[in-house]
Amino acid sequence: MDIDLTPKLAKQVYGGEGGSYHAWCPNELPMLKEGNIGAAKLALTKNGFALPCFSDSAKVAYVLQGSGVAGIVLPAKDEKVIPITKGDAIALPFGFVSWWYNKEDTELVVLFLGDTKTAHKAGSFTDMYLTGSNGIFTGFSTEFVSRAWDVDESVAKTLVSSQTAKGIVKLDAGFQMPEPKQGDRDGLVLNCEEAPLDVDIKGGGKVVVLNTKNLPLVGQVGTGADLVRLNGSAMCSPGFSVDSALQVTYIVRGSGRVQVVGPDGKRILEAHLKPGNLFIVPRFCVVSKIGDPDGMEWFSIITTPDPKFTDLAGKVCPWKSLSPQVLQAAFNVSPDVQQHFSSKRTAEQTFFPPSN
């Protein structure tokens, strides 16, 4: 596999006083285009407002930092105004309209990951803004706009031309945005930092998996997700996705090492990971990570709504199911070596704490 898998940082696409929008470029991270995956980040300063838009792709949004408000309109549904905070994962199906607002001092940062098979450009999101200097109605004639909205042409001109910003604006401190409703989160949001753990290995790590059981709307998005916290110097077992899915990983905090092995036993990636890095594990390739002493946390999407993985080390792995004779023949080793191998990792799974 000759494609470059080197982890990359996002680059700013546009921004201003209210915040900025960043994206990963398929030309720099070719697996985005190869796998039809989009990745971007929105950062809003205090009173920053991301204008309403719709996208050419379904997405999962993950709040990396801060808290704020999001407005979500699903097709033929009423607006949901939801409070959002760090750790929230939000399912955004195809056809949604959204806006985002930060009223706090702390910068609000939201990660977007999704499938771009319906997109204008493979590996990139294209957002269609409803207002602003690049709003879709700037392309219609005044006659069309006034007839569509049933307003005078003078009013149509005012509505279309008054917002001169692109994508993000900074609102006046006294401007009153809609108050969010906690109940509107139901069915749209799962806080991965507060959700029940799917895996919890003492001294090793913890996992929360986002799937159709705890957030059914991801079935419409078409991707599952997980939040993984790897303890200091612990190892994440070598493993692979069993359902032909790509794994797109963003490093939230901490640092560590990663190795990915592809066909013919070739190591196709070896890198040191740091916060902000994004990388993609191709289908059926085997990945493993080891955290630095301070540990490492990452958020991933998997291109199936109900992801399944197979570990290749630990108590639940194919090695433990294969008969001794098969292991001896496959490794071409003596029974003593096979027995020593089979006696290891009989209790641990998924995460392995550092050896004392």
User: Among residues of the chain, what percentage have pLDDT more than 90?
Assistant: 94
What separation in angstroms does the CA of 252 have from each of 56, 91, 129, 195? 26, 19, 28, 18
Query: Where are the alpha helices (H) located in the chain, listed in sequence order?
Result: 31-35, 142-149, 153-161, 218-221, 318-321, 324-331, 335-342
Residues 6+ apart with CB under 8 A from 306: 211, 212, 213, 224
- So what's the pLDDT on residue 161? 97
End-to-end CA distance of the chain: 37
User: Mutual orientation of helices 335-342 and 324-331 as an angle, nearest 10°?
Assistant: 110
pTM for the whole structure: 0.96
Give 243-259 pLDDT, tens digit per residue. 889 999 999 999 999 99
Cα 281 to Cα 249: distance, rounded to the nearest angstrom: 8
Q: Which domains does the chain have, with CATH numbers?
A: 8-132+167-185 (2.60.120.10), 192-310 (2.60.120.10)
- So what's the pLDDT on residue 356? 66
Residue 314 forms beta bridges with which residues? 349
Give 178-227 pLDDT, tens digit per residue. 999 999 999 999 999 999 999 999 999 999 999 999 999 999 999 999 99
User: Is residue 5 a contact partner of residue 31, using CB atoms and an 8 Å limit?
Assistant: yes
Other CB atoms within 10 A of residue 213 CB = 10
CA neighbor of 352 nearest in space, from 315, 318, 301, 302:
315
- So what's the pLDDT on residue 243? 86
Cα 271 to Cα 264: distance, rounded to the nearest angstrom: 20
Q: Write out residues in the chain with pLDDT < 50, as ranges.
A: none
- So what's the pLDDT on residue 2? 80
Most distant CA atoms of the chain, gap in Å:
88
